[in-house]
Each structure stands twice: as C-alpha cells, then as structure tokens.
Amino acid sequence: MSILSLAALTFPATALSDNWPQWRGPHFNGSSGEKNPPAAWSKTDGIAWSLDMPGPSAATPIVWEEFVFVSSTDTQTKTLQAICIDRKTGKIRWQKETGVGLQKDRNSNYASPSPVTDGKKVIFFYGNGEFAAFDFAGKELWSRNIQKDYGEFAFQWTFAASPLLLSGKLYMPVLQRNVPVNGRGRTDGPIESFLLGMDPETGRTVWKQARPSQAVAESKEAYSTPMPFEHNGRKEFIIAGGDDLSGHDPETGKELWRWGTWNPARIGHWRLVPSPSAGAGIILACAPKGDPVYAVKAGGTGVLDDSAVAWKSSENRQLTSDVPTPLFYDGDFFILSDVRRSLTRVEPKTGKVKWSLETPGRKKFESSPSGADGKIYFMNFAGEVVVVDAQKGEVLSVVGMGEEGDDMTRSSISIAQGQLFIRTNKKLFCVGKNS
C-alpha cells in the first residue's frame, strides 16, 4: 500500500483532490489531484484576488473548501497572527493574535511553520513553541506552549518544523541540541530531542518519545516535518534529522527502524532542513550542504545498514537539496536543488534521471515544489513562480509575484479548488477562476 492509500484512509475522498490541509498537501508529498490549475498568469491577469499580509512568513497557505488559513507575522505590532480568509472573496473572516515577538535570527521568523486542518478545526504552530487551535468560526479551542512545558529550545536558528495531523493525532518533532547554544536551551535539566503525540481536540500530550542521535553540535538540529507512510500494511511516520532517518509507530511514537548516517565523520554543522519524501516503496533523505540524496528501501526493522539503501546520488552532483523537500508526483521524485540550481525528475527505485533542467533566474529557490495536472510549481527568493511541464522538463512560464527588492521568499505553493495560493513576503494571491 502506498502513501496515497494512507491519505485516502485519513481524509474524506472529496478532500483528496479539492483541499490542501497540510504543508505538503492532501497526499503529504507535495502533489494534488486537481485538474487544470493555471499554467500562466500575471500579477494583474488571472488573479481571483490578492490580500496584503501584515508581515513576512514562510508558511504555506492551507485550504479547506471555502476557507484559507495563513500564519503570519505582524511587523507593526511585533506579534504573531493566525488568519482565516474567505477563499471566494479574499476577505478576512477572522484574525487572531497568537503571540508576541517575531524572530530570533534575521534569516527566518516564528511564523514559518504551516498550519494544519482536518476540516473542523485548524491548528497553528509557531517557532516560539506556541500552539493555538481554533474552530472555523474563529473560536479558540485550546492553546499551549511546548517550550514552557518541556524547556527552552536549543536551536542556533529559529525553529520551523510544521506539525502533522493524522488519524486523530497531532504530531510534533523537536530535534535539537543536547546543550544550550548562544544562550538558548534549558539549564534546569537535561535537553533531549523528542517527538510529541498530542490530542488535537484538547492539545493534551498523549505520549512523548525520546529521539536520540549520535550527531554532534548543530548536526543535532532539524527543521523537518514528519511524513506519514504505509508499506505492506505497516503504518508509520518518518522523520529526518540528527544524522538519521527513522520510522515510528503512529500510536506510540516508538521507533520502528533507523538508518544513517550521511555524516560518518560527525561534522558538527550539518543541520537538516528537508523533510523526508516517500513513494513507490522508497523513502528519500536529503543530506545537507550539497551532499547526496539517499534512497532507502521501505519496510525495514531495527537499525539498518547500507544494504537498505537502494541508491544514492553521489555520481550525479545535480541531485542534492539543502533546503527544499522533494516532490513525489506521477510515480517519480522531483528534486529541486537550491545548491545546484536545478530541478530533476528521478525514477524512485533506481535513481535514473529522466530529465534535469537549470532553474531560471539568479535568485535562490528554497520553497518545496508542488505538482498537479502535469505541472510543477515552485518559487524563488524574489517571489518569481516557475511552472514546469512534468513530462518534458520544459519551463512553461516564469511569473513575477513579488515586490521590488523582495528577498528570502520561501513559502511553497498550495493547489486547491482549481486555484493556486501563492504567499509572498507582502501578499497572498489566489490565482485562477473562482469555483
């Protein structure tokens, strides 16, 4: 059974092609079943609506039927915001302040994680540890701060993992250093990396599972999101970080298997950003800093050796990703390299390259690619959206959606209800006809 089968068991059938309920969409891999999303438009043509945002954020818009949810900073008030928008009109339905403060470093902010929804409630998480859950009318259901509960995060940068909502549980990883860094990290007890399983109805912790690693210093830090996967009837969620890839029991968080390492020398500055991507019985782990992509065969148990590796990309230097998470779509992986400035279509079981193209423009790409109806969408730091033909590997269009001087735009593109939802530093765009 594939990851698509797991998605079908989790969400109503209508949600699979119509909504974008999590950071990586309805299938947890960046793909959508939508038909005929736009392939070309401009900032003035083909736009259903646009809305000014109160501040920048790398969070991906979340869409459920007539509702669009966005995390944001507010640079005027120095606060964090949870925003609900009417999908048809672009009008704000409600907006809630969820925290005070914007960031710990200049490269990112607390509003980088994406919200999640099950069609009844929406849950926001922020890099300062704050959770806030609301019903669709904007009533707060619960809130908590996991830094207050489990100690200050020990990250060199601003924490940015997104939560996973799956089968009645809310999952959150905190893969961090075991000692304080730059004055960050608890001093009243040991610091451990852990996974949380929470009740999404109340926010209560159902289980807390330690996730140890042999990594050192910054290499213990991960900003990756857990991804669900099912293979031969075994359900699990997978997480990458701390020099390892691991699979976990969704009911308990117990580790089922582990593979590593892409860092045998235990280099100390290899923090991990990309989340794992899975499909066709293969799980991808992207080693950082221009190192290879590793394809691990699904179904393992315990500590795996390198016989579990189907292939690695060391012979093809284009296949690497320091930040973007690969897309699994149309039976293949699409690996966007921010380091090598390329997008490559790869056969899952063999690593065979079907095509590779140089990404256009001079700006860096750190958003993760999204796919639907034979097209791949991704955006660069300047807010330029690239649309690629998935079969031919040809650029169909490049559309500038950012403002003059824009930089560090990182949000991925959501595809839902026949439309594209594009979050730049200053605006949210809905592209395509209203349905």
**Nearest-angstrom CA–CA distance, 32 and 309:** 28
Report whether pLDDT(175) > 50.
Answer: yes
H-helix segments, 71-211: 146-150
C-alpha of 71 from chain center: 14
Residue given tokens 């459920």 in the structure block: 64
**Nearest-angstrom CA–CA distance, 171 and 104:** 24
Q: Which domains does the chain have, with CATH numbers?
A: 3-431 (2.130.10.10)
Cβ atoms within 10 A of the Cβ of 219, count?
A: 23
Report whether pLDDT(208) > 70.
Answer: yes
How many H-runs (helices) and E-runs (strands) does the chain carry? 3, 33
Give the pLDDT confidence of 119-165 residue by residue, as tens digits.
Answer: 999 999 999 999 999 999 999 999 999 999 999 999 999 999 999 99
Report whether pLDDT(405) > 90.
Answer: no
Task: Answer yes or no: are the C-beta atoms of 372 and 408 closer than 8 Å.
Answer: no
Residue given tokens 């580790």 in the structure block: 255
Strand 255-259 to strand 302-304: parallel, antiparallel, or no bridges (unpaired)?
parallel
pTM summary value: 0.94
Give the pLDDT confidence of 287-340 residue by residue, as tens digits.
Answer: 999 999 999 999 999 999 999 999 999 876 779 999 999 999 999 999 999 999
